[in-house]
Chains A and B, each alone.
Chain A
């Protein structure tokens, strides 16, 4: 059976090193399978987060050969196996141990977002076309790869001023919900730092759910912020005619 050489980060927030493991490669095998093999036979204490192993829960995010990926969806046969496969933790979050990072900051950002607020007197009828637009955003599995790759967070560490692509997607889902009556533009501008995003689309590129984060969520939200804060006429018209 073919073999692959993996170099996996072992260590804590204080430091660590890449450790080599030889793993047999089976047809259709994914990187997470290789990590499980290491746990089962070579290093039982290798720390890895995972749940569904089906690309539905977004737990097993890591960097494979430097690329942010879900390890459960990264096939070994898609990687050049004549070279070592390097698996390291997401860079934008503090390492707890090995491939497990501290993503609790994301949960703190989420708490700032005002919930779905149905307009009074709604009859709960919605058309599929209106729902489609929002369902794209609701596909998000919270793997936080978009957060990991966003340079505002990854390179500049602006976790206090900036919410990150994941939460722009979440706000877009609420703002564009056909029956929602709340406005979150002030939050976007003042607390989630939407202005820091200069639409480089790195987030869109790594999204395993193929959500068009930049085009369909961030840019329309930026337009709404501009309308609300810098174009009083547009804001008035939307107040009168609705905007959903």
Chain B
């Protein structure tokens, strides 16, 4: 018999309450569905809150020549043409409406002199395209969506974590989880499920990501039989803080460079002139991250192993107005006044381009009834994401996922819950307490982050990846024998023990895919295969579960229609 649990029922269950989850929930509610939103933290604390620079949308408020076509082209170029073209097209076409919608729900963006939404320059975007609120755009977005959802009446299950998706035959019919607060189990019955759980940054040592970023949605989908796509592409943001140690990895927004900030090495050279003479500091993130990494490796790094980023040539008042959080962050945490001197910055693990494979129109995964949107999904960004394209991704595909999930729920009947699946999921959680001895999950997590940082990082090669993969297997084995101390009452060690399992599954998918792609493209740099290979440019890698083993397959990328192919050829 299964340990006791409570049961809730909704038409649509949304897992995750960041931008994508909230936008999905709002759309499903608007279609008349009953919606439950489950989130690991309190409402309004999801990682979206940390997004700084802005939302990319071709509104053409500042640069009149901008259009969805240029946005589409920039996105495909940034992703080195590995993107799902249809997702890139939908994204570029729908982003402006999604931004206007936010404004109509109460968001207050910075303004142009004409009173329109102001847009700023960002890496890889041909025009000033990022709608922003100083450097706290994500906070504005999440608060707006949160208030909208509350007003429309979604049901939020805060501090609740999902550990397993339930299936009735091929179709997803619900989920099992636990309340973080009391440790009690909970079962959700739902006609459709939307995953919006974000990425996997917590598997790396130096990261801009919060504790929640443990790859849950990718692992849940994989366990349920869905396909994962492009898992080798992990974005390292070029500018994280490098000093002091406690703040290492903390994000320094690309808006610093968008507003005119300049990168220099220890010798005072503007080294981006050597790596991308045309776009310089506003080159794409993969290029800038590798450039800083290379400068440091070749002995031209700063005192603490980074590069200098300087915005102090701009008037102090301007810097404080446009980059207020950066100003405070450096002043309070690093004793640096960025209006007077340079910041020290270096690459930090930031974003996962890969994720659950979805249909471009409906955001449905390869498992019926299961949708995915935002960072947990893959396809839009190809091998490298442009700054600003994440917030717009959340809105565009969050909405589409919510819409399709509500429509699917209309057509579907409630599935029947299988007691055996529920029991297996709850027993798994209790087993951590039942072992008389075992390792702490924290020590295994530390070894995982070291492994991913050293062996599956910015620059990769076959030998490192093989060693990384072997280490991941060893850690998987040890993670299965973890022992948790204490009670089920708000016990972070217990929560980490389960999150670790998800991180290890996703890390394995990353390492395997990185090993298989024998070329360098976008965020994936192989020192043993330093060039891009046109042959590899025509295919994606797909990971799926076969029994208990991980299967890796190549898939040809979808063929581009001729009108869009012509668009890409323009101006190149």
CA distance A3 to B490 in the complex (A): 28
Max count, chain A CB within 10 A of own CB: residue among B210, B212, B442 = B210
Complexed CA–CA distance, A150 and B143 (Å): 23
Contact B442 A41 (CB under 8 A): yes
| A45 and B486 in contact, given A39-B493, A115-B148 (Cβ under 8 angstroms) | yes
Q: Is the CB of A54 within 8 A of B251?
A: yes
Once bound together, how far apart are the Cα atoms of A1 and B211, in whole Å?
Answer: 27
Of the A-B pairs whose beta carbons lie under 8 Å apart in the complex, a sample of 11, sorted by A's number, is: A28-B243, A40-B442, A44-B440, A44-B486, A45-B485, A48-B492, A51-B45, A54-B250, A56-B325, A103-B42, A131-B109
Assuming the A-B contacts A44-B442, A50-B211, A135-B134, are A59 and B42 also in contact, with contact meaning beta carbons closer than 8 angstroms in the complex? yes
Contacts of A115 in B (CB 8 A): 105-106, 147-148, 151
Q: Across the interface, do B210 and A33 meet the contact criterion of CB distance under 8 Å?
A: no
Contact in complex: A56, B133 (CB < 8 Å): no
Counting CB contacts under 8 A, is A81 at the interface? no
Chain B residues with CB below 8 A from A134, complex form? 108
Contact assessment for B491 and A45 in the assembled complex, using a CB-CB cutoff below 8 Å = yes
In the bound assembly, the distance between CA atoms of A124 and B107 in angstroms comes to: 11
| Bound complex: CA A100 to CA B179 (Å) | 14
The listed residue with most B CB atoms (<10 A of its CB), out of A54, A115, A125, A135, is: A54
Say which residue of A45, A51, A96 sits within 8 Å of B492 (CB atoms).
A45
Interface string of A51-82 (1 = CB under 8 A from B): 11111111100000000000001010000000
B496 proximity list for chain A (CB < 8 A): 44
Q: How many residues of B contact A (CB 8 A)?
A: 66
Task: Report chain B residues within 8 Å CB of A58.
Answer: 45
Given known contacts A49-B42, A55-B329, A138-B133, A96 and B114 CB-to-CB distance under 8 angstroms? no
User: In this assembly, does A30 line the interface, its C-beta being within 8 Å of a C-beta of chain B?
Assistant: yes
CB–CB B106/A131 < 8 A? no
Asked if A174 and B210 make an inter-chain contact with CB atoms under 8 angstroms apart, the answer reads no
Q: Is the CB of B147 within 8 A of A57?
A: no
Question: Does A47 count as interface, using CB distance less than 8 angstroms?
Answer: yes
Minimal beta-carbon separation of A44 from chain B (angstroms): 3
**Would you call B247 and A28 a contact (CB within 8 A)?**
yes
A226 to chain B, nearest CB (A): 26
User: How many angstroms from the CA of A134 to the CA of B109 in the assembled complex?
Assistant: 11
A44/B492 in contact, CB under 8 A: yes
Within 8 A of A (CB), among B32-73: 41-47, 49-50
A127 to B487, CA, bound (A): 54
- Contact for A39 among B108, B143, B492, CB less than 8 A: B492
Is B437 an interface residue when CB atoms closer than 8 A count as contact? Answer: no
Interface residues of A toward B: which range? Answer: 35 or more
Give the contacts of B189-229 with A (CB-CB under 8 A): 210-212
Q: Given A40-B442, A59-B45, A115-B106 in contact, is the A26-B245 Cβ separation under 8 Å?
A: yes
Question: A29-B244, A51-B41, A96-B490 known; A126 and B115 CB under 8 Å?
Answer: yes
Interface members, chain A 203-234 (any B CB < 8 Å)? none
Partner of A177, one of B106, B147, B489: B106
Q: How many A-B residue pairs have CB under 8 A?
A: 156
Which residues of B lie under 8 Å from residue A177 when comparing CB positions?
106, 108
Residues of chain B within 8 A of A200, CB atoms compared: none
Question: Inside 8 A of B251's CB, which chain A residues have their CB?
Answer: 54
B228-282: which have CB < 8 Å to A?
243-247, 250-251
Chain B residues with CB below 8 A from A191, complex form: none
Q: DSSP class of A's interface residues: helix, strand, loop or mixed?
A: loop
At the interface, yes or no: A118 with Cβ under 8 Å from chain B? yes
User: Of A52, A53, A58, A116, which is in contact with the most chain B CB atoms at under 10 Å from its CB?
Assistant: A52
The residue in B111, B138, B246, B328 that gathers the most chain A C-beta atoms within 10 A of its C-beta is B246
Q: Which residue of B lies closest to A78 (CB)?
A: B332
Contact B494 A45, beta carbon cutoff 8 Å: yes
By a CB distance below 8 angstroms, the chain A residues around B431 are none
How many Å from the CB of B7 to the closest CB on chain A?
21
User: Is B245 a contact of A28 with CB atoms below 8 Å?
Assistant: yes
B553 at the interface (CB under 8 A from A): no
B45 touches A57 (CB 8 A): yes
Quick one: CB contact mask for A7-46 with B, threshold 8 Å, 1 for yes?
0000010000000000000111110010000011100111
CB distance from B268 to the nearest CB of A (A): 25
Q: Let me know if A28 and B134 touch, CB within 8 A.
A: no
Residue of A nearest to B147 (CB): A115
User: What is the minimal beta-carbon distance from B216 to any residue of chain A, in angstroms?
Assistant: 15
- With A115-B105, A138-B140 given, name 11 new contacts (CB 8 A): A39-B492, A41-B442, A44-B492, A44-B496, A45-B484, A47-B489, A51-B211, A56-B49, A56-B325, A107-B158, A115-B148
A166-203 interface code vs B (CB 8 A; 1 in, 0 out): 00000000100100000000000000000000000000
Interface residues of chain B, those whose CB is within 8 Å of chain A, are 41-47, 49-50, 100, 103-106, 108-111, 114-116, 118, 133-134, 136, 138-140, 143, 147-148, 150-151, 158, 181, 210-212, 243-247, 250-251, 325, 328-329, 332-334, 440-442, 446, 484-487, 489-494, 496
A13–B246 Cα distance when bound, in Å, is 31
**Which A residues are in CB contact (< 8 Å) with B211?**
50-51
Q: What residue in chain B is nearest A178 (Cβ atoms)? A: B108
Min distance, Cβ B343 to any Cβ of chain A, angstroms: 14
Chain B neighbourhood of A110, CB < 8 A: 147, 150
CA distance A19 to B333 in the complex (A): 27
Q: Known: A115-B148, A134-B108. Is A125-B493 also a contact (CB below 8 A)?
A: no
Contact A100 B490, CB 8 Å, known A75-B333, A110-B150, A124-B103? yes
Q: How far is the CB of A244 from chain B (nearest CB, A)?
A: 13
CA distance A11 to B291 in the complex (A): 49
Give the Cβ gap from A170 to chain B, nearest Cβ, in Å. Answer: 9
Minimum-distance CB pairs A-B, first 5: A28-B244, A45-B486, A44-B493, A116-B106, A125-B115
A112 to chain B, nearest CB (A): 11
Q: Which residues of A contact B104 (CB under 8 A)?
A: 118, 124
Interface assignment of A160: CB less than 8 Å from any CB of chain B? no
* Also in contact, A52 and B108, with CB within 8 A (given A44-B484, A135-B134): no
> How far is B103's CA from A73's CA once the two chains are assembled, in angstroms?
31
- Given A125-B114, A142-B44, answer yes or no on A56-B247 (Cβ-Cβ < 8 Å): no
Among residues of B, the one whose C-beta sits closest to the C-beta of A56 is B50
Interface core residue of A27, A44, A142 (most chain B CB under 10 Å): A44
Q: How far is the CB of B244 from chain A (nearest CB, A)?
A: 2
Query: In the complex, what residues of A have CB within 8 A of residue B46's CB?
Result: 51
User: For the complex, what is the distance from the CA of A33 to the CA of B244, rounded to whole Å?
Assistant: 12
Contacts of B243 in A (CB 8 A): 28
Q: Contact between A139 and B246 (Cβ–Cβ < 8 Å)?
A: no
Q: What is the chain A residue whose CB lies nearest that of B140?
A: A138
Are the C-beta atoms of B47 and A52 separated by less than 8 Å? yes
- Report Cα–Cα, A17/B281, bound state, in Å: 53
Q: How far is the CB of B39 from chain A (nearest CB, A)?
A: 11
Whether a CB of chain B sits under 8 angstroms from the CB of A83 is no
Cβ–Cβ contact A111 & B150, under 8 A: yes
Q: Which residue of chain A lies nearest to B212 when distances are taken between CB atoms in the complex?
A: A51
- Hey, which chain B residues are within 8 Å of A57, CB to CB? 44-45, 49-50, 210
Q: What A residues does B158 contact at CB under 8 A?
A: 104, 107
Closest A residue to B493 by beta carbon equals A44
Q: Which partner residue on chain B sits nearest A107 by CB separation?
A: B43
B142 — nearest CB in chain A belongs to which residue?
A: A57
Bound Cα distance from A139 to B133, whole angstroms: 10
Q: Is A86 an interface residue (CB 8 A)?
A: no
